[in-house]
Amino acid sequence: METLECIENRRSARKFKNTSVEWEKIGNILRAGQLAPSSGNVQDFKFVVVTDKTKRSALANSALKQHWIASAPVIIVVYSEPKITQRSYGIRGDKLYAIQNSAAAAQNILLAATDEGLGSCWVGAFDENMVNSVLGAPDNARPQVLIPIGYIENDIPIPRKNRMVDMVYINNWGGKIVNPDLAMDDFSEVMRKKIMEAKEIIKEKAPTIGRDIAYKGKEGVKKIHDKVKEKFEERKKRKEKEFEKDLSSEEEVLEDSEI
């Protein structure tokens, strides 16, 4: 699957089939997480793969009782070890970089799951102490994301996203270019604008357009009528000439007979 296609196809899945996930696919997904960037390549993240049914239920309970999480056959818990990052980057490493590094790994995992034909979801609402208790993690390990993974029940519609023109600035905050959608190859937005413009024109011009169409239609009918009339007159004249010719021939025959 192409990268952008994978990104576009990713959805937040919350309903999973009761089907186990192949370990080969899990391995590929973990490999994607391992290859995520990290501050100074400290690689301060760890992954706990949970397949045990009892522990999956306990994790769902720790995530504010979001019981749907337990229906996923696999839950990957992305951990960070902030102390490792703090040693290199101080307080900023502890409070920011450790979170960013784990987030990069989690996003790689989500996309890899999509590429493997699986559904997944980013879950960030949970009690950290409860998660650590379920998994027997040390206090210096901080759970950042729970990622339920499995085969989805039904197709998930595309969620609404903000327009690129409302999200992107050029060179400075609030900076715009004339047509950012076109410049960034967001042709769907360009087409949407063109369609809206066309609708507005039709709305404004509808009475005039209708009148013009009616007038043109009337003119067209008149032209057809005149053409038919012209043909009829030509045919009539041709018939009259043929009749006169026949009549002349008959008179000649009569004159010959009298003699």
Euclidean distance between CA atoms 238 and 90, whole angstroms: 107
Residue at 88 is within a domain: yes
Residue at 39 is within a domain: yes
Looking at the fold, whether 66 and 151 belong to one and the same domain comes out as yes
Residue 49: the pLDDT is 98
Domain count across the chain: 2
Euclidean distance between CA atoms 116 and 95, whole angstroms: 33
Residue 189: the pLDDT is 62
Residue at 183 is within a domain: no
> Please, are residues 37 and 105 in contact by the beta-carbon 8 Å criterion?
no
Residue 259: the pLDDT is 46
Looking at the fold, whether 149 and 29 belong to one and the same domain comes out as yes
Looking at the fold, whether 98 and 50 belong to one and the same domain comes out as yes
Q: Provide the residue-wise pLDDT of the chain in tens; the chain has 259 residues.
A: 789 999 999 999 999 999 999 999 999 999 999 999 999 999 999 999 999 999 999 999 999 999 999 999 999 999 999 999 999 999 999 999 999 999 999 999 999 999 999 999 999 999 999 999 999 999 999 999 999 999 998 889 988 989 888 888 888 998 887 666 666 666 566 666 777 788 787 777 766 666 666 666 677 767 777 877 787 788 878 877 776 776 666 555 555 555 4
Residue 207: the pLDDT is 65
Residue at 244 is within a domain: yes
Of 144, 137, 193, residue with least CA distance to 165: 193
**Full domain range(s) for residue 236:** 188-259
Euclidean distance between CA atoms 38 and 50, whole angstroms: 24
- Orientation of helix 82-92 relative to helix 98-115, angle to 10°: 130
Instruction: List the beta strands (DSSP E) in the chain.
Output: 45-50, 74-80, 119-120, 142-150
Residue 187: the pLDDT is 59
Residue 152: the pLDDT is 95
Residue 248: the pLDDT is 67
> Please, are residues 137 and 79 in contact by the beta-carbon 8 Å criterion?
yes
Looking at the fold, whether 229 and 130 belong to one and the same domain comes out as no
Looking at the fold, whether 38 and 130 belong to one and the same domain comes out as yes
Residue 127: the pLDDT is 98
Looking at the fold, whether 153 and 109 belong to one and the same domain comes out as yes
- Residue in the block written with tokens 């949407």: 192
For residue 52, what is the domain's CATH number?
3.40.109.10
